[in-house]
Amino acid sequence: QPALNELQQEIRELARDRKAIILAHNYQPPEIQDVADLVGDSLELSLKAAQTEAEVIVFCGVRFMAETAAIVSPDKLVVFPRVEAGCEMADMITVEDVEALKAKYPGAPVVTYVNSYVEIKAVSDICCTSANAVNVVKALPEKEVIFIPDKNLARYTQRFLKDKKIHYFEGYCPFHDVLTVEEVKAARKAHPEALFIAHPECRPEVIDLADAVRSTSGMLRYVRESKAKEFIIGTEVGLLYPLKKQNPDKEFYPASEKMLCEAMKIISLEDLKKSLETLSPTVKVPEDIRIKAYRAVTRMLEIPR
Ligand code: 13P
Ligand code: SF4
């Protein structure tokens, strides 16, 4: 762990005074990751938000992640330093879209990738993350399911569940779907010894080329346990920082420089400090919507990993 600078030390002191826990996603800027109590993927962060004893959760990530913390911990103050940090995939789907799918496939449960806003989770049966999507869909008794909003994660999940039919919404992450077969082939040519690891938000034809497909924390675990020394990383470039930090003797190459999610880079240390001083802005979800979304999220958290 690198030594904390003055501003980071002030943030740690403020967090102690405020009885706050700082949660950060694996794509957050390095200086934010270094000052956080926990850095993780969506599933790890949701579990921590549900279990922490802290009175305040300060969330460094994008809005749907902070909302999930507010959904599972209604008695805590969830501080989200920059409310404008959204998710382009989450923006693609509306409640009307979900209702239309339900009308088209009556009786099929709605499985919602957590990369969606609370209103969407509220009209869903169960949530999933990139780390547990296969287990979640497998655990459902129904043979037909509706999967929203990510078509790529839906099609990835379908590969493992041949006896099910997954009807999916045509959403996607622009910063994962952008990766092409040509780019992966060029990266492999430039780094012939490297393994290629992809996030399930990548296109099917890119997934076909991968040595492993994992959530962000799944990639961190995979690399730690691998004997290989070089890796081509098929996810948002922010993951390169924790990869290198945990594996200084290994080499990492982004599969494409285009895989950069601006929303994940908005929160600065100054924003974080100010948020801890003022305990604002906070994420609040209307209680009737929260209760419905809570059912879908907790149902997911109960599924074994
Ligand atoms: P993970 O849950 O794998 O960290 O992914 C979150 C995300 O936003 C991917 O784009
Ligand atoms: Fe959303 Fe994609 Fe950014 Fe993840 S990387 S937060 S899915 S826009």
pLDDT in tens, 89-123: 999 999 999 999 999 999 999 999 999 999 999 99
- Is position 67 within any domain? yes
- Is position 192 within any domain? yes
Cβ atoms of 169 and 93 within 8 Å: the answer is: yes
Q: Which of 139, 172, 205 is the last residue before a domain boundary? A: 172
Phi, psi (deg, nearest 5) at residue 58 = -100, 120
Is the minimum distance from the CB of 85 to ligand 1 under 6 angstroms?
no
- Is position 303 within any domain? no
Say what the ipTM of the complex is.
0.98
- Is position 300 within any domain? no
CA distances for 238 relative to 8, 12, 59, 176, 233, angstroms: 19, 22, 17, 13, 10
Closest ligand to C-alpha of residue 25 is 1
Q: Which atom of ligand 2 is nearest to the CA of 87?
A: 1
Cβ atoms of 197 and 216 within 8 Å: the answer is: no
187 shares its domain with 153: no
Other Cβ atoms within 10 Å of 12 Cβ, number:
14
| Residue indicated by tokens 């599933």 | 43
Domain count within the chain: 3
137 shares its domain with 182: no
- Is position 291 within any domain? no
Pocket test for ligand 1, best of 42, 67, 300 (most atoms within 8 A of CB): 42
Question: 25 has which bridge partners?
Answer: 40
- Is position 116 within any domain? yes
Q: How far apart are CA 228 and CA 214, in angstroms?
A: 16
25 shares its domain with 65: yes
pLDDT in tens, 232-257: 999 999 999 999 999 999 999 999 99
* 176 marked as binding residue: no
* 135 marked as binding residue: no
Task: Give me 99's structure tokens.
Answer: 């209702």
Q: Which atom of ligand 1 is nearest to the CA of 261?
A: 10
pLDDT in tens, 38-47: 999 999 999 9
256 shares its domain with 180: yes
Q: How far apart are CA 283 and CA 264, in angstroms?
A: 17
Closest ligand to C-alpha of residue 85 is 2
159 shares its domain with 227: no
Is the minimum distance from the CB of 28 to ligand 1 under 6 angstroms?
no
Q: What is the CATH number of the domain that holds 158?
A: 3.40.50.10800
pTM of the model: 0.97
145 shares its domain with 215: no
Mean pLDDT, rounded, for 193-219: 98
Protein residue whose Cα sits closest to atom 8 of ligand 1 = 115
Q: Which of 117, 151, 172 is the last residue before a domain boundary? A: 172
The distance of Cα 94 from the centroid of its chain, to the nearest Å, equals: 19
pLDDT in tens, 154-163: 999 999 999 9
* pLDDT score of 305 more than 90: no
Q: Taking Cα atoms as reference points, which of 21, 59, 20 lies closest to residue 42?
A: 59
Query: Domain range for residue 16?
Result: 6-86+264-284
- Is position 219 within any domain? yes
143 shares its domain with 196: no
240 shares its domain with 277: no
**Distance from the CA of 22 to the center of ligand 2, in angstroms?**
20
- Is position 138 within any domain? yes
Pairing of strands 144-148, 110-113: parallel
